[in-house]
Amino acid sequence: MNLPETDTSLFKRLRFVLVGTSHPGNIGAVARAMKTMGFSELYLVSPRFSDALTNPDAIAFASGAQDILQAATIVNSIDEALLDCHYVAAVSARLREFSPPILSPRQLAAHLSQSTQKSVALVFGNERYGLPNEIVVNCNALINIPANPEYSSLNLAQAVQLLAYECRVAEVDGEVDKLSAQSDIGFQGKTASLNEIDGMYTHLEKALVTIDFLDPASPKKLMPRLKRMFSRTQLETEEVNILRGIAKKIIDFKG
Ligand code: SAH
Protein backbone atom coordinates (compact mmCIF):
# COMPACT_ATOMS: atom_id res chain seq x y z
CA MET A 1 0.00 0.00 0.00
CA ASN A 2 1.31 3.46 -0.86
CA LEU A 3 0.71 5.92 1.87
CA PRO A 4 1.29 9.65 1.52
CA GLU A 5 4.53 10.77 3.12
CA THR A 6 3.70 14.14 4.52
CA ASP A 7 6.26 16.34 6.29
CA THR A 8 4.71 15.26 9.55
CA SER A 9 5.23 11.58 8.77
CA LEU A 10 7.73 9.77 10.99
CA PHE A 11 9.63 8.72 7.85
CA LYS A 12 10.62 12.37 7.44
CA ARG A 13 11.05 13.22 11.12
CA LEU A 14 13.17 10.35 12.44
CA ARG A 15 16.97 10.59 12.44
CA PHE A 16 19.28 7.64 13.05
CA VAL A 17 22.50 8.57 14.86
CA LEU A 18 25.45 6.16 15.13
CA VAL A 19 28.09 7.04 17.71
CA GLY A 20 31.72 6.00 17.22
CA THR A 21 31.00 3.14 14.84
CA SER A 22 34.08 0.95 14.21
CA HIS A 23 33.17 -1.14 11.19
CA PRO A 24 32.28 0.56 7.91
CA GLY A 25 30.45 -2.62 6.91
CA ASN A 26 28.03 -2.02 9.77
CA ILE A 27 27.43 1.53 8.56
CA GLY A 28 26.52 0.21 5.12
CA ALA A 29 24.25 -2.42 6.66
CA VAL A 30 22.57 0.30 8.76
CA ALA A 31 21.88 2.32 5.58
CA ARG A 32 20.27 -0.74 4.05
CA ALA A 33 18.23 -1.49 7.18
CA MET A 34 16.95 2.10 7.22
CA LYS A 35 16.07 2.21 3.54
CA THR A 36 14.16 -1.06 3.60
CA MET A 37 11.92 0.51 6.26
CA GLY A 38 11.55 3.87 4.51
CA PHE A 39 13.89 6.01 6.61
CA SER A 40 16.73 8.10 5.21
CA GLU A 41 18.31 10.50 7.67
CA LEU A 42 21.63 9.13 8.93
CA TYR A 43 24.18 10.91 11.12
CA LEU A 44 27.56 9.51 12.14
CA VAL A 45 29.33 10.88 15.19
CA SER A 46 33.11 10.39 14.93
CA PRO A 47 33.23 7.05 13.11
CA ARG A 48 36.55 5.22 13.51
CA PHE A 49 37.40 5.64 9.83
CA SER A 50 37.10 9.07 8.29
CA ASP A 51 36.26 7.51 4.91
CA ALA A 52 33.40 5.57 6.53
CA LEU A 53 30.89 6.60 3.88
CA THR A 54 33.01 5.71 0.87
CA ASN A 55 34.81 2.70 2.32
CA PRO A 56 34.36 -0.40 0.07
CA ASP A 57 32.86 -2.42 2.95
CA ALA A 58 30.31 0.29 3.66
CA ILE A 59 29.34 0.42 -0.01
CA ALA A 60 29.16 -3.37 -0.33
CA PHE A 61 26.97 -3.77 2.77
CA ALA A 62 24.72 -0.87 1.78
CA SER A 63 23.86 -2.78 -1.39
CA GLY A 64 21.11 -0.69 -3.03
CA ALA A 65 21.06 1.88 -0.23
CA GLN A 66 24.08 3.90 -1.27
CA ASP A 67 21.94 7.01 -1.61
CA ILE A 68 21.49 6.93 2.17
CA LEU A 69 25.27 6.75 2.63
CA GLN A 70 25.88 9.58 0.19
CA ALA A 71 23.41 11.81 1.96
CA ALA A 72 24.67 10.91 5.48
CA THR A 73 26.26 13.56 7.66
CA ILE A 74 29.48 13.07 9.64
CA VAL A 75 29.88 15.26 12.74
CA ASN A 76 32.39 15.43 15.59
CA SER A 77 30.04 15.61 18.56
CA ILE A 78 26.70 14.23 19.67
CA ASP A 79 25.43 17.80 20.17
CA GLU A 80 25.92 18.54 16.48
CA ALA A 81 24.07 15.34 15.54
CA LEU A 82 21.11 16.19 17.76
CA LEU A 83 20.86 19.86 16.93
CA ASP A 84 17.15 20.76 16.69
CA CYS A 85 15.96 17.29 17.76
CA HIS A 86 13.07 17.53 20.20
CA TYR A 87 13.01 13.97 21.49
CA VAL A 88 16.00 11.65 21.65
CA ALA A 89 16.05 7.97 22.59
CA ALA A 90 19.25 6.11 23.47
CA VAL A 91 19.23 2.52 22.20
CA SER A 92 21.30 0.39 24.53
CA ALA A 93 21.94 -3.27 25.25
CA ARG A 94 22.76 -2.36 28.85
CA LEU A 95 20.35 -1.14 31.50
CA ARG A 96 21.83 1.33 33.96
CA GLU A 97 21.11 2.30 37.51
CA PHE A 98 20.53 5.91 36.58
CA SER A 99 18.81 6.20 33.28
CA PRO A 100 15.89 7.90 31.59
CA PRO A 101 12.61 5.93 31.49
CA ILE A 102 13.04 2.54 29.82
CA LEU A 103 10.77 1.72 26.86
CA SER A 104 10.53 -1.30 24.59
CA PRO A 105 11.02 -0.70 20.86
CA ARG A 106 7.27 -1.06 20.36
CA GLN A 107 6.38 1.43 23.06
CA LEU A 108 8.88 3.89 21.66
CA ALA A 109 7.55 3.45 18.11
CA ALA A 110 3.98 4.13 19.26
CA HIS A 111 5.15 7.22 21.12
CA LEU A 112 7.15 8.58 18.17
CA SER A 113 4.42 7.90 15.66
CA GLN A 114 1.87 9.77 17.79
CA SER A 115 4.21 12.64 18.62
CA THR A 116 4.11 15.85 16.65
CA GLN A 117 7.72 16.85 17.28
CA LYS A 118 9.44 18.04 14.12
CA SER A 119 12.65 16.08 14.63
CA VAL A 120 13.21 12.99 16.75
CA ALA A 121 16.29 10.78 16.98
CA LEU A 122 17.48 7.30 17.87
CA VAL A 123 21.09 7.04 19.08
CA PHE A 124 23.09 3.81 18.76
CA GLY A 125 26.45 2.97 20.35
CA ASN A 126 29.77 1.54 19.30
CA GLU A 127 29.99 -2.19 18.53
CA ARG A 128 32.20 -2.99 21.48
CA TYR A 129 31.58 -0.28 24.09
CA GLY A 130 27.97 0.67 23.47
CA LEU A 131 26.87 4.20 24.37
CA PRO A 132 28.70 6.32 26.96
CA ASN A 133 26.73 7.20 30.11
CA GLU A 134 27.03 10.94 29.43
CA ILE A 135 24.97 10.50 26.28
CA VAL A 136 22.40 8.14 27.82
CA VAL A 137 21.59 10.38 30.80
CA ASN A 138 20.81 13.29 28.51
CA CYS A 139 18.29 11.33 26.43
CA ASN A 140 14.51 11.30 26.93
CA ALA A 141 14.25 7.51 26.98
CA LEU A 142 16.37 4.37 27.04
CA ILE A 143 15.34 1.69 24.57
CA ASN A 144 16.28 -1.88 25.31
CA ILE A 145 15.55 -4.74 22.93
CA PRO A 146 14.25 -7.55 25.15
CA ALA A 147 16.69 -10.20 23.94
CA ASN A 148 17.97 -13.46 25.44
CA PRO A 149 19.30 -12.38 28.87
CA GLU A 150 22.26 -14.73 28.43
CA TYR A 151 23.22 -13.26 25.05
CA SER A 152 21.54 -9.92 24.56
CA SER A 153 23.90 -7.90 22.41
CA LEU A 154 22.69 -7.63 18.82
CA ASN A 155 24.80 -6.61 15.87
CA LEU A 156 24.48 -2.82 15.45
CA ALA A 157 22.74 -2.97 12.06
CA GLN A 158 20.33 -5.62 13.30
CA ALA A 159 19.41 -3.43 16.25
CA VAL A 160 18.78 -0.58 13.80
CA GLN A 161 16.69 -2.90 11.61
CA LEU A 162 14.50 -3.89 14.51
CA LEU A 163 13.88 -0.30 15.66
CA ALA A 164 13.26 0.87 12.09
CA TYR A 165 10.77 -1.95 11.57
CA GLU A 166 8.82 -1.17 14.74
CA CYS A 167 8.72 2.52 13.80
CA ARG A 168 7.49 1.66 10.31
CA VAL A 169 4.73 -0.62 11.56
CA ALA A 170 3.56 1.95 14.12
CA GLU A 171 3.59 4.73 11.53
CA VAL A 172 1.85 2.73 8.78
CA ASP A 173 -0.87 1.54 11.19
CA GLY A 174 -1.34 5.12 12.38
CA GLU A 175 -1.61 6.42 8.81
CA VAL A 176 -4.22 3.78 7.92
CA ASP A 177 -6.27 4.81 10.97
CA LYS A 178 -6.05 8.47 10.01
CA LEU A 179 -6.98 7.76 6.38
CA SER A 180 -9.98 5.65 7.23
CA ALA A 181 -11.14 8.24 9.72
CA GLN A 182 -10.96 10.89 6.98
CA SER A 183 -12.64 8.94 4.20
CA ASP A 184 -14.62 5.87 3.35
CA ILE A 185 -11.49 3.75 2.76
CA GLY A 186 -11.79 0.77 5.06
CA PHE A 187 -15.44 1.20 6.08
CA GLN A 188 -15.91 2.28 9.66
CA GLY A 189 -19.33 2.71 11.16
CA LYS A 190 -20.37 4.69 14.21
CA THR A 191 -19.15 3.10 17.44
CA ALA A 192 -22.13 1.91 19.49
CA SER A 193 -22.82 3.71 22.76
CA LEU A 194 -22.83 1.83 26.06
CA ASN A 195 -26.57 2.43 26.23
CA GLU A 196 -27.16 0.82 22.87
CA ILE A 197 -25.00 -2.16 23.81
CA ASP A 198 -26.80 -2.54 27.14
CA GLY A 199 -30.16 -2.57 25.36
CA MET A 200 -28.85 -5.26 23.03
CA TYR A 201 -27.72 -7.43 25.97
CA THR A 202 -31.16 -7.23 27.57
CA HIS A 203 -32.80 -8.14 24.29
CA LEU A 204 -30.37 -11.02 23.65
CA GLU A 205 -30.83 -12.36 27.18
CA LYS A 206 -34.58 -12.40 26.69
CA ALA A 207 -34.19 -14.33 23.43
CA LEU A 208 -31.88 -16.88 25.06
CA VAL A 209 -34.40 -17.39 27.86
CA THR A 210 -37.17 -17.81 25.28
CA ILE A 211 -35.37 -20.72 23.62
CA ASP A 212 -34.35 -22.22 27.00
CA PHE A 213 -30.67 -21.69 26.35
CA LEU A 214 -30.48 -19.52 29.45
CA ASP A 215 -32.17 -20.59 32.66
CA PRO A 216 -33.05 -17.41 34.63
CA ALA A 217 -33.13 -19.49 37.84
CA SER A 218 -29.55 -20.59 37.23
CA PRO A 219 -27.99 -18.18 34.71
CA LYS A 220 -24.41 -19.24 35.52
CA LYS A 221 -21.85 -17.15 33.64
CA LEU A 222 -23.46 -17.11 30.22
CA MET A 223 -24.23 -13.37 29.99
CA PRO A 224 -20.92 -12.24 31.53
CA ARG A 225 -19.09 -14.50 29.05
CA LEU A 226 -21.03 -13.12 26.10
CA LYS A 227 -20.46 -9.55 27.31
CA ARG A 228 -16.77 -10.24 27.65
CA MET A 229 -16.63 -11.54 24.09
CA PHE A 230 -18.53 -8.58 22.63
CA SER A 231 -16.52 -6.07 24.64
CA ARG A 232 -13.42 -7.12 22.70
CA THR A 233 -14.97 -6.22 19.35
CA GLN A 234 -15.73 -2.48 19.44
CA LEU A 235 -19.34 -2.95 18.35
CA GLU A 236 -20.87 -0.48 15.92
CA THR A 237 -24.47 0.78 16.09
CA GLU A 238 -25.39 -1.07 12.93
CA GLU A 239 -24.07 -4.34 14.36
CA VAL A 240 -25.95 -3.83 17.62
CA ASN A 241 -29.10 -3.37 15.57
CA ILE A 242 -28.46 -6.59 13.63
CA LEU A 243 -28.07 -8.53 16.90
CA ARG A 244 -31.28 -6.98 18.24
CA GLY A 245 -33.02 -7.94 15.00
CA ILE A 246 -31.92 -11.56 15.48
CA ALA A 247 -33.08 -11.52 19.12
CA LYS A 248 -36.45 -10.12 18.05
CA LYS A 249 -36.93 -12.83 15.41
CA ILE A 250 -36.12 -15.54 17.97
CA ILE A 251 -38.64 -14.12 20.45
CA ASP A 252 -41.34 -13.67 17.76
CA PHE A 253 -40.72 -17.16 16.41
CA LYS A 254 -41.08 -18.85 19.78
CA GLY A 255 -43.85 -16.59 20.96
N1 SAH B 1 28.77 -4.42 24.22
C2 SAH B 1 27.94 -3.32 23.88
C3 SAH B 1 26.98 -3.75 22.78
C4 SAH B 1 27.13 -2.91 21.63
S5 SAH B 1 26.18 -3.48 20.30
C6 SAH B 1 27.15 -2.87 25.08
O7 SAH B 1 27.22 -3.54 26.08
O8 SAH B 1 26.44 -1.88 25.03
C9 SAH B 1 26.08 -1.97 19.37
C10 SAH B 1 24.80 -1.17 19.56
O11 SAH B 1 23.68 -1.93 19.10
C12 SAH B 1 24.47 -0.80 20.99
O13 SAH B 1 25.16 0.32 21.44
C14 SAH B 1 22.98 -0.51 20.87
O15 SAH B 1 22.77 0.76 20.30
C16 SAH B 1 22.55 -1.59 19.89
N17 SAH B 1 22.08 -2.82 20.58
C18 SAH B 1 22.61 -4.06 20.49
N19 SAH B 1 21.91 -4.93 21.25
C20 SAH B 1 20.91 -4.22 21.84
C21 SAH B 1 19.83 -4.54 22.74
N22 SAH B 1 19.63 -5.77 23.19
N23 SAH B 1 18.99 -3.54 23.10
C24 SAH B 1 19.17 -2.29 22.63
N25 SAH B 1 20.17 -1.93 21.80
C26 SAH B 1 21.02 -2.88 21.39
DSSP letters along 34-60, please? HHHTT--EEEEES-SSTTTTT-HHHHH
CATH architecture of 12-181: 3-Layer(aba) Sandwich (3.40)
Question: Is the predicted pLDDT of residue 255 greater than 90, yes or no?
Answer: no
Q: How far does the centroid of ligand 1 lie from the alpha carbon of residue 128, in Å?
A: 9
Q: What is the pLDDT of residue 56?
A: 97
Mean pLDDT across the stretch 200-212? 90
Global pTM reads: 0.75
Phi, psi (5° rounding) for residue 19?
-105, 125
Q: What is the pLDDT of residue 185?
A: 58
DSSP state string for 54-94: T-HHHHHHHTT-HHHHHH-EEESSHHHHHTT-SEEEEE-SS
Domain boundaries, the chain: 12-181, 194-254
- Ligand 1 cavity residues, CB under 6 Å: 91-94, 124-125, 127-128, 130-131, 144-145, 147, 152-154, 156, 159
Q: How far does the centroid of ligand 1 lie from the alpha carbon of residue 90, in Å?
A: 10
User: CATH classification of 194-254 is 1.10.8.590, yes or no?
Assistant: yes
